[in-house]
Amino acid sequence: MTLNQPQENLAATVTLPGEDFSRVALTAASLELLKKLWEQHGPLMFHQSGGCCDGSAPMCYPAGEFITGDSDVLLGLFDIGDDGRSQPLEFWMSREQFNYWSHTHLAVDVVEGRGSGFSVESPEGKRFLIRSTLMDWDVPKL
């Protein structure tokens, strides 16, 4: 089960029990911005919730600032570090949202423009967004 992803995307480590494929990736542009943000804010995390407006955009927070729990799913774990330096970054999604998006592969990308909310990239004049691709195999529901 291999998803055709451009080489410049960084695939997350598999975190869901019983799965052998990455559900989320970072584009080269998002990876570059995340490295800059890490230098400014320290360790980071993503949370993708449901809702409307920017509530449906991936939000990037300092790690641990957004409290996750049983109503969230850890979809992937990245290491965005260079030169042997580990910089782990978790990607979480609300369980309710995951039930809607469980059949898609997600790529975190970045575009010009400011979103609203508390995501740390906002002052940079950029915002993260999700690009999704339908998966062509059956995936288990949580």
Residue 4 lies in a domain: no
Question: Per-residue confidence at 6, pLDDT binned at 50, 70, 90?
Answer: very low
Q: Which phi and psi angles does 114 have, rounded to 5°?
A: -100, 130
Residue 3 lies in a domain: no
Residue 2 lies in a domain: no
C-alpha torsion sign, points 105, 45, 72, 116 = negative
pTM: 0.87
Residue 140 lies in a domain: no
β-strand 72-79 against 88-94: which pairing, if any? antiparallel
Q: How far separated are the first and last CA of the chain, in Å rounded?
A: 19
- Bridge partner list, 78: 89
Mean pLDDT of the chain: 87
Q: Burial code of 78-114, b = ≥16 C-beta within 10 A, e = fewer? A: bebeeeeeebebbbbbbeebbeebbebbbbbbbeeee
User: Residues 71-110: pLDDT tens digits?
Assistant: 999 999 999 998 889 999 999 999 999 988 889 999 999 9
Strand order in the sheet with 24-26: 10-11, 24-26, 104-112, 126-134
Domain total for the chain?
1
Higher pLDDT, 39 or 136: 39
Q: Give the amino acid at 111.
A: V
Residue 42 lies in a domain: yes
Query: CATH no. for residue 38?
Result: 2.60.300
Residue 86 lies in a domain: yes
Residue 60 lies in a domain: yes
| Cα→Cα distances 53→16, 80, 82, 132, Å | 28, 28, 34, 17
Q: Report the range of poorest mean pLDDT among 15-29, 41-55, 68-82.
A: 41-55
Residue 95 lies in a domain: yes
pLDDT over 90 (residue 61): yes
Question: Domain range holding 98?
Answer: 10-134
